[in-house]
């Protein structure tokens, strides 16, 4: 890892309606960059690591300071270029152009490996941006909780007739994203047992309210769940230790979980997955001294891990990969039939993507939770018939503790995103909200990602590995004039496995923001509908027809 990292300073976004930059269009990215490193938000802020293994917000502290300085000075006709977490240029563009353009971790395909990346990272030339770490739109575990809730709810409907009470989800990993699993599972009515090898992560999730409790071992966790279920409540319990040990113990006890998945950072075999039988100390020191040995041991453990998951599938568990590339890493270590169970997008999320539905989100720059509650009410008003969304908003209000700047995520699609965005901008204009909001989404969305083991796994026309789509998405969003646009490599699944694009828009109440929001929040989900219609998905073709999208060569 690059020098000039570890630093003990504490970063937190400014709050309130006073500007630190020259306009809200630059104050937005400034606050969101800082918010990504808020100790309430980031996993290892001292190393600039936001989430997902080594997903960073800036290349090093010097670059962070330089980005902050540039954002404070940026004029409304200038654009800041950020190359893998380092500000490399400010160019005169025009008022309607993006204020920041970001490219993170991109490598020419033949060189797109972890080995090459680490070599360049050590030289201080690049940075792993994950998805929303390096594009400054991470909102803590809430960012994934609704998607995970949607997935678990769909599993409940499809496999258990909606009867999830008393049923058990087992999984691993309580990091930035994985930490959403226990809350999403209990929201969907399941119990959850999660193995996590780092006690500090368990403490973080208990503190932030995403996890109910912890137990010293599996038997105690099961006993706690039995008791809670007798009282009519679902319960989430963390079990400290290696996930493989927990699954082997589950086998010994003769238990078959109803649902089995995993969210360790398997996509990064050097930094993200504790090899079986290793102590945390050995893991940490070997990562520096012999990363190749760590990677080899981690992949061998993943092969064993996937073997256990396949055994449970045979016994009747619903098994799925939760977007961490575990199956591919296990396959590299020789696991047979590693792809014998599906990924979550192919199995549960694609129908949503076909309608441009994905993890739409917004952040209150004021820092005032009331601003988010007012936008929640606006969503209900504008989408009165979406009962599932209303349930989500009720549960989110009750269970989600904000991390850093208050924010909300709602999975909505084409035809709704721009309506909500325009309404929020109106609320800023008329003073209902106490400051502007930033609107955006995860890179894991309908039209913004190519990732053959996750978002584009098993596409109907075989176009899984075609990455023209996210590139078109990023180009189009720059043309739309979104406030900032990013294009990354490797997020979610690791180097060589994914390419993806992000957007963020500052709704500052202006007429210019109205125009930007209307264009971007229509075109962005529309590009997802077009991508899926082109692949031949019937529901995407119907959605395109319903909304009158101009598709010159329709698939029927
Ligand atoms: P993270 O690095 O913050 O957390 C991973 C956690 O796994 C850590 O707390 C680590 O201690 C724990 N862990 C590692 N090896 C372990 C083992 N053998 N046993 C028990 N615990 C172990 O990562 P994150 O942000 O939580 O993301 C997790 C994974 O999910 C990543 O691969 C990420 O790319 C993927 N992801 C999926 C989605 C999605 O939409 N499904 C979204 C974002 C990220």
CA-to-CA distance for 400 and 396, rounded, in angstroms? 5
DSSP summary character for residue 347? I
- The answer to the question of residue 220 being in a domain is yes
Q: Ligand 1 pocket test: which of 203, 272, 444 has the largest number of ligand atoms within 8 Å of its C-beta?
A: 272
Tokens of 231: 């009282």
176 marked among binding-site residues: yes
Q: What is the pLDDT of residue 8?
A: 83
- The answer to the question of residue 155 being in a domain is yes
Burial class (CB in 10 A: 0-12, 13-18, 19+), 235: buried
> How far away, in angstroms, is 228 Cα from ligand 1 center?
27
Domain that holds residue 199: 142-342
The CATH number of residue 292's host domain is 3.40.50.10730
- The answer to the question of residue 37 being in a domain is no
275 lines ligand 1 (CB under 6 A): no
What radius of gyration, in Å, describes the C-alpha atoms of the chain?
Answer: 22
308 lines ligand 1 (CB under 6 A): no
- The answer to the question of residue 469 being in a domain is no
- The answer to the question of residue 10 being in a domain is no
Closest residue to atom 18 of ligand 1, CA basis? 274
Q: Is 263 within 8 Å of 171 (Cβ atoms)? A: yes
Nearest to 136 by CA among 106, 100, 107, 105: 100
178 marked among binding-site residues: yes
Q: 0.90 exceeded by the pTM?
A: yes
- The answer to the question of residue 255 being in a domain is yes
For the chain, 556 residues long, the average pLDDT of each consecutive 10-residue run is: 68 98 98 97 96 96 98 98 98 98 98 97 98 97 89 94 97 95 96 98 95 98 97 97 98 98 97 97 96 97 98 98 96 96 93 96 98 98 95 92 96 97 98 98 98 97 98 98 98 97 98 98 98 98 98 89
Q: Is 467 within 8 Å of 439 (Cβ atoms)? A: no
Which segments of 387-492 are extended strands (E)? 407-412, 437-441, 449-450, 484-489
Q: What is the pLDDT of residue 463?
A: 98
Q: What is the pLDDT of residue 3?
A: 45
274 marked among binding-site residues: yes
Q: What is the pLDDT of residue 4?
A: 58
Give 92's strand partners: 78
Atom of ligand 1 nearest to the CA of 301: 18
Q: What residues are labeled active site?
A: 410
CA-to-CA distance for 160 and 170, rounded, in angstroms? 16
DSSP character string of 201-264: HHHHHHHTTS--EE-SSHHHHHHHHHHHHHTT---EEEEES-HHHHHHHHHHTT---SEE---S
- The answer to the question of residue 179 being in a domain is yes
177 marked among binding-site residues: yes
350 lines ligand 1 (CB under 6 A): no
CA 333-106-483 angle, to 5 degrees, is 130
DSSP character string of 360-386: EEEEETT--HHHHHHHHHHHHHH-TT-
Q: Is 354 within 8 Å of 362 (Cβ atoms)? A: no
> How far away, in angstroms, is 174 Cα from ligand 1 center?
7
Which segments of 3-105 are extended strands (E)? 49-51, 55-56, 78-83, 86-92, 100-104
- The answer to the question of residue 328 being in a domain is yes
Q: Ligand 1 pocket test: which of 42, 129, 146, 173 has the largest number of ligand atoms within 8 Å of its C-beta?
A: 173
Query: Which ranges of 413-510 does DSSP label H, i.e. alpha helix?
Result: 417-429, 468-480
212-233: b (≥16 Cβ within 10 Å) or e:
bebbeebeebbebbeebbeeee
55 lines ligand 1 (CB under 6 A): no
How many independent structural domains does the chain possess?
A: 1
CA 439-443-444 angle, to 5 degrees, is 115
Residues 6+ apart with CB under 8 A from 143: 132, 177, 180, 359, 361, 409, 442
Q: Ligand 1 pocket test: which of 149, 178, 267, 308 has the largest number of ligand atoms within 8 Å of its C-beta?
A: 178
318 lines ligand 1 (CB under 6 A): no
Backbone angles phi, psi at 412, to 5 degrees: -130, 160
| Sole residue written with tokens 């739409």 | 360
Q: Give Cα 138 distance to the centre of its chain.
A: 7
Residues in the chain: 556
């Amino acid at each position: 890892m690059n020098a000039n990292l570890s630093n003990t300073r504490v970063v937190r976004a400014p709050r309130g309606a006073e500007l630190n930059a020259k306009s809200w269009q630059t104050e937005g990215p400034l606050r969101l960059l800082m918010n990504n490193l808020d100790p309430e938000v980031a996993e290892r802020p001292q190393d600039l690591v936001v989430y997902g293994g080594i997903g960073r917000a800036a290349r090093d502290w010097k670059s962070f300071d330089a980005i902050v300085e540039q954002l404070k000075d940026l004029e409304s006709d200038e654009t800041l270029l950020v190359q893998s977490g380092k500000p490399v240029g400010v160019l005169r563009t025009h008022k309607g152009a993006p204020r920041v353009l970001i490219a993170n971790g991109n490598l020419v395909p033949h060189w797109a490996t972890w080995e090459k990346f680490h070599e360049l990272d050590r030289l201080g030339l690049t940075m792993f941006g994950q998805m929303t770490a390096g594009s400054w739109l991470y909102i803590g575990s809430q960012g994934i909780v609704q998607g995970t809730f949607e997935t678990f709810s769909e599993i409940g409907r499809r496999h258990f007739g909606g009867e999830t009470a008393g049923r058990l989800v087992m999984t691993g990993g309580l990091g930035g994203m994985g930490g959403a699993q226990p809350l999403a599972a209990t929201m969907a009515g399941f119990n959850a047992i999660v193995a996590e090898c780092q006690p500090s992560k368990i403490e973080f999730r208990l503190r932030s309210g995403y996890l109910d409790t912890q137990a010293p071992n599996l038997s105690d966790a099961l006993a706690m769940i039995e008791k809670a279920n007798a009282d009519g409540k679902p319960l989430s319990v963390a079990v400290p230790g290696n996930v493989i040990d927990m699954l082997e113990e589950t086998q010994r006890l003769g238990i078959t979980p109803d649902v089995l998945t995993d969210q360790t950072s398997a996509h990064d075999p050097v930094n993200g997955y504790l090899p079986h039988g290793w102590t945390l100390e050995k893991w940490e020191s070997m990562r520096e001294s012999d990363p190749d040995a760590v990677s080899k041991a981690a992949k061998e453990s993943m092969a064993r891990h996937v073997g256990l998951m396949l055994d449970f599938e045979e016994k009747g568990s619903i098994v799925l990969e939760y977007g961490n590339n575990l199956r591919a890493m296990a396959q590299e270590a020789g696991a047979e039939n590693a792809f014998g169970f599906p990924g979550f997008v192919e199995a549960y999320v694609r129908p949503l993507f076909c309608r441009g539905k994905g993890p739409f989100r917004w952040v209150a720059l004021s820092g005032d939770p009331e601003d988010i509650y007012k936008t929640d009410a606006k969503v209900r008003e504008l989408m009165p018939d979406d009962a599932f969304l209303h349930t989500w908003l009720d549960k989110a209000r009750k269970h989600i503790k904000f991390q850093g700047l208050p924010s909300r995520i709602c999975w909505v699609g084409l035809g709704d995103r721009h309506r909500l965005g325009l309404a929020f901008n109106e609320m800023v204009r008329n003073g209902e909200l106490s400051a502007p909001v930033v609107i955006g989404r995860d890179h894991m969305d309908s039209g913004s990602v190519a990732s053959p083991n996750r978002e584009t796994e098993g596409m109907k026309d075989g176009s899984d590995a075609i990455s023209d789509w996210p590139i078109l998405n990023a180009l189009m969003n720059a043309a739309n004039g979104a406030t900032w646009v990013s294009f990354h490599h490797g997020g979610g699944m690791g180097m060589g496995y994914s390419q993806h694009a992000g957007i963020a828009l500052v709704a500052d109440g202006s007429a210019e923001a109205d125009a930007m929001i209307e264009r971007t929040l229509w075109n962005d989900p529309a590009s997802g509908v077009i991508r899926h219609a082109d692949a031949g998905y019937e529901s995407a073709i119907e959605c395109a027809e319903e909304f009158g999208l101009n598709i010159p060569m329709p698939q029927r």
